[in-house]
Amino acid sequence: MKKTVVLGVTSGIAAYKTLDLVRSLKKNGAEVFVVMTESAMAMVPASKFKKASGNKVYNKLFEKGFDYTDILKIRRVDHIDLADKADIIVIAPATANIIAKIAHGIADDFLTTTLLAVHCPVIICPSMNVNMWNNPIVQENITKLRALGYHIVEPEKGMLACGYEGEGRLAHIKIIKEEI
């Protein structure tokens, strides 16, 4: 049976690395749907994820021409449909912002509303500056998410995009794929 992976891409510099994850998952027979935050789309064009996944890239809760009466006629909402079909959801890279939103139940975009509707495992792959990662607020949010049953793929140590060195690099794509 073909597995459905929903990949949430946020605005970490490592967003470009997740293109390789999409390609690798597709190569192994998974159906991959990508949800990008608005800021992530400034990092990597959605068209690249569409090409890699072969599917529409989701971003806006209310696309151009949205009409609530259409929803009432067909009784289907994209973020609920996506949540229902997902066998697993992976957030990579997961910024401090998305981690905080998830930990506090904030649903103000396509990705966060989808996350509140899922009934499958969720893997969070943090990626950020070492000082941000070590911030007590971020660590408190990670602890809360673990307690709620979210799976966390720890960031790696190394040279970061900002020029700092330390823990905060997105885990290697191979490790994320193994976790999936």
Q: Does 162 participate in catalysis according to the annotation?
A: yes
pLDDT, residue 158, reads 86
pLDDT, tens digit, 9 for 90 and up, residues 111-121: 999 999 999 99
Active-site position among 162, 172, 174, 178: 162
pLDDT, residue 19, reads 96
Average pLDDT, the chain: 91
Of 119, 71, 73, 127, nearest to 99 by C-alpha is 127
Q: Flag whether the pTM goes above 0.75.
A: yes
160, pLDDT greater than 80: no
pLDDT, tens digit, 9 for 90 and up, residues 39-68: 999 999 999 999 999 999 999 866 676 666
Residue 18 phi/psi, 5-degree rounding, is -70, -15
User: For residues 10 and 145, what is the distance between their CA atoms, to the nearest angstrom?
Assistant: 17
pLDDT, residue 125, reads 98
150, pLDDT greater than 90: yes
3-state DSSP: the chain helix, strand, coil percent, rounded to 5?
45, 20, 35
